[in-house]
Structure 1
Amino acid sequence: MAKTLVCIVGPTAVGKTALAIQVAQHFHTVILSADSRQFYREMTIGTAKPSSDELEAVPHYFINSHSITTDYSAGDFERDALELLRNLFITNDVVVLVGGSGLFVNAVCNGLDNLPKPLPGVRDRLNTLHRHEGLDPLRQRLEQVDPKYHSQVDLNNPQRIIRALEVYESTGMPFSEFRRKQTADRPFHICKIGLNTDREQLYRQINARADAMMESGLLQEVASLMRYRGHGALQTVGYAELFDYLDGNSPLQEAVDKIKQHTRRYAKRQITWFKKDDRTTWFTPDALPQIIAHIAASIQARSDT
C-alpha cells in the first residue's frame, strides 16, 4: 500500500474537523492540523480548535503545540511536519492533514521558498506600524520595493505583506526573488480533498459560529491576550476586531458584526486559493461515503503503478 497523506482543505466553518475525524477513524490513523492559529495554546475559542471529545476520538498533532510568544512560520511547520510524517508512516499507511491555512498546507505538500530569517526588530517594527496606521502604508511600501509580489499577494492579508517586507528590509532583495520555482518531491502520495457547500449555507454557519464563540467567552479570551497583541498570530480575524473594541474604537456589536464580515471574506479567499490546485477533488461535507471511496481509489491507483 502506498504511503498516503490525505489533505482535507476548504473554507473556515465548512466542517473540516468533523470530516477529518471520520476519515481518520475509517483508516485507523492520526490527524495533523495545518491551521496556523491552532498551534498556540493561548488561543482556543477564537481558533475553533477541536473539542476535548474530538481530540480524544483521534490523536491530533500541532494542536496546542506552541506558545504565542514563539514565532512559528510555515517554514518551521514544513520542517517539523515532514519529520513527524517520516516517523508516522513507519506504522501508518495513511495520515490525515487538515486545515484552512493554504500556505501551511502548501508547505507540506509542495515545499516552501528558502527564505532568510528577518533581522532582529524588523518584524516588531512592521507589526507596530500595522497596528497604529493600518495596512495602507505597508501596501504602499510593498508596491515600491516589490511590485511583482504586490501584484500577486492578497493585499488584505497583513501577515503575507509583513513577511514580504521583512525579507526585503533584512536582505535588500525583493521577496519575489526568493520564491520557489518548482515543487519539491515528497516520499509519499498526496490525495487532496476539498470541502465546500452552498455559499449562503456557509455564511450562516460562519455567523452562527461567531455568535457561539462570543457566548463561550471569546471577549474574555481576547482581553487576556492584550499584552501579546503585537504578535502576528493575533493580527487575525476574531481577535483584531475585539482588540479594537477594547481600545474603545467601536461598540461591541459592531465588532462582532465585523468578525462575521471579515470571516466571510476570509472564506472567499480560502476557496479561491484552494480552487487554484486542480489536483483537489471537491465534495460537500456530508459526502463521507464518496470521499472514502475516492481516497481508497486514489491509494489503489498509486499502489498499482
Structure 2
Amino acid sequence: MSLLPWKKSFPKKFSTNTRNKTLPPVVCLFGPTAVGKTDLLEELFGDSAEIISADSMQVYRLLDIGSAKPDPPSLKRIPHHLIDILDYTEQFNTGDFVRLAEECIRGIHNRGKLPVLSGGTAFYFKNLLFGLPPIPPIPAGLRETLNDELSEKGPQALHMQLALVDPETAERLNPADRSRIVRALEVFRGTGQALSTYKTASKPRNDLPCLLLGLERPRAELYERINERVEIMFQQGLYEEVKNLITRGACEDDPGMKGIGYSEFFPFLREGCLTLGDVKARIQKDSRRYAKRQMTFFSSLPGVQWFHPDQTEDVRKVIEVFTTAGS
C-alpha cells in the first residue's frame, strides 16, 4: 500500500531553494541489523517513494546474501539507489556516500517522489545530517604515490608512519586496513594536518529538512532475529557465494571482503581448523556486537523518534504529518 497519493511537488515550506541550495525533505529510517527495516519499507511505501540505501556493503556487486540486499522483487516494487554500484575491490568512503546521496535526493524529488534514506551504517547518516568535515582538496597523484609505497613497504610500515603524525587516527585503525591508512596519510601529506583534526560539526546542518525515524526491538528479540537471519543466509548459499567470489580473485584485503558475513570466512579458508558451524557462530556473534554499537551510535543522534517495527500505522502517521507540513 502506498503511503499516500504523492503530490507533484513538496509543500512550499520545503521547496528546494536553488539560491541557498537547500535540499528537499528526506525521511531517514534506520536501526540495527535485522531489526526489520526492509519489511517496514515495503509496508509503508509503494510508488510514492524511492529508497536510498545507507549500507556500506550493499554498494558492492556480487555481495548479495551476506549483505542482506533486498531481493529482486523488492527492488522492482520500490526503486532503490546506491546498491550494486561498485566492484568489491573498490573503496567507498563516507564522503562518496554523502555526495551521491545528495544527488539522489534531488533526483528523487524532481521525479515527484519522497526520498527515503534507509540502512544501518551510522556514519553515513551522521555525516549526511551534520555535514562532512571541511577537508581541503587533496593534490592529484598523492594517492597513487601512497599506493606505490603500500605495495613496496606493506600496511604495517604505513601504519607506523601514521602513528607518528596522527596517533589518534592510527589508534582506531587496524594496522591491516590498507585503504583507510592510505586515506589518513593522504590527508596529512596533502593538507599538513592530521585527519583527526577535521571534525564533524556539532550541530545538524540547516539545509536538509529531515524526519529521523529509528527502529528498535528488545535486545533478546533482536539477537534472536540476528541468529535466525544468519541461519537463513547459510541456507540461501552464503558459503557458495563467498567461494565464488574467491574463485574470481577476491582476497581478504579487498574493501568489500572486510564486512561481517564475509571476513569471517578467511580464517576458515586459511587455517583449515574451523568448521562452517564455527564460521556461522562467528558471524552471529559479530553481528550481535555490531548491532549493539549501531544502537549506541543511533541513540546519540538528536531528534530521533523511536518505534518498534510493528508500529506501522504510528510510523505512517508521523510521515504523513512531515510530508504535508506547511500545505
Alignment of 1:51-66 (within 5 A): 51-66=71-86
Deviation at 1:224, TM superposition (A): 2.1
In structure 2, what is the Cα distance between the partners aligned to 1:170 and 1:142?
Answer: 10
Three-state SS of the structure 2 residue aligned to 1:247 is helix
5+ residue gaps, structure 1: none
2:43 pairs, out of 11, 19, 22, with 22
Three-state SS of the structure 2 residue aligned to 1:47 is coil
**Which residue of structure 1 lines up, in the alignment, with residue 32 of structure 2?**
11
**Which residue of structure 2 lines up, in the alignment, with residue 82 of structure 1?**
102
Deviation at 1:242, TM superposition (A): 0.7
Alignment of 1:278-289 (within 5 A): 278-289=302-313
Letter matched to residue 74 of structure 2:
E
Name which of structure 1's ranges 286-295 and 217-226 shifts more when overlaid on structure 2: 217-226
Cα pair 1:234 1:240 within 8 Å, conserved: yes
Cα pair 1:123 1:162 within 8 Å, conserved: no
In structure 2, what is the Cα distance between the partners aligned to 1:121 and 1:223?
Answer: 33
Kindly tell me: are residues 249 and 114 of structure 1, through their superposed partners in 2, closer, same or farther at Cα, counting changes over 3 Å? farther
Count of equivalent residues: 294
Three-state SS of the structure 1 residue aligned to 2:117 is strand
Select the structure that is richer in helix: 1
Deviation at 1:179, TM superposition (A): 2.5
Q: Does 1:216 align with 2:240?
A: no
Deviation at 1:72, TM superposition (A): 2.3
Three-state SS of the structure 1 residue aligned to 2:45 is helix
Three-state SS of the structure 2 residue aligned to 1:225 is helix
Name which of structure 1's ranges 269-278 and 220-229 shifts more when overlaid on structure 2: 220-229
1:259 pairs, out of 283, 289, 294, with 283
In structure 2, what is the Cα distance between the partners aligned to 1:8 and 1:163?
Answer: 32
In structure 1, what is the Cα distance between the partners aligned to 2:271 and 2:112?
Answer: 51
For residues 123-144 of structure 1, what are the alpha-carbon distances to aligned partners after superposition, in whole Å with 9 as ceiling and x for unaligned?
A: 6949x967xx8xxx96x87665
- Alpha-carbon RMSD across the aligned residues, in angstroms, is 3.1
Kindly tell me: are residues 114 and 69 of structure 1, through their superposed partners in 2, closer, same or farther at Cα, counting changes over 3 Å? farther
Deviation at 1:122, TM superposition (A): 4.1
Cα pair 1:6 1:192 within 8 Å, conserved: yes
Letter matched to residue 230 of structure 2:
A
Q: Identity across aligned pairs (percent)?
A: 29
TM value normalised by structure 1? 0.83
Kindly tell me: are residues 4 and 243 of structure 1, through their superposed partners in 2, closer, same or farther at Cα, counting changes over 3 Å? same
**Which residue of structure 2 lines up, in the alignment, with residue 228 of structure 1?**
250
Letter matched to residue 106 of structure 2:
R
Kindly tell me: are residues 235 and 169 of structure 1, through their superposed partners in 2, closer, same or farther at Cα, counting changes over 3 Å? farther
In structure 2, what is the Cα distance between the partners aligned to 1:219 and 1:70?
Answer: 22
Cα pair 1:29 1:94 within 8 Å, conserved: yes
**Which residue of structure 1 lines up, in the alignment, with residue 126 of structure 2?**
106
Three-state SS of the structure 1 residue aligned to 2:228 is helix
In structure 2, what is the Cα distance between the partners aligned to 1:17 and 1:84?
Answer: 19
Letter matched to residue 33 of structure 2:
T
Q: Which has the larger radius of gyration?
A: 2
Cα pair 1:15 1:285 within 8 Å, conserved: yes
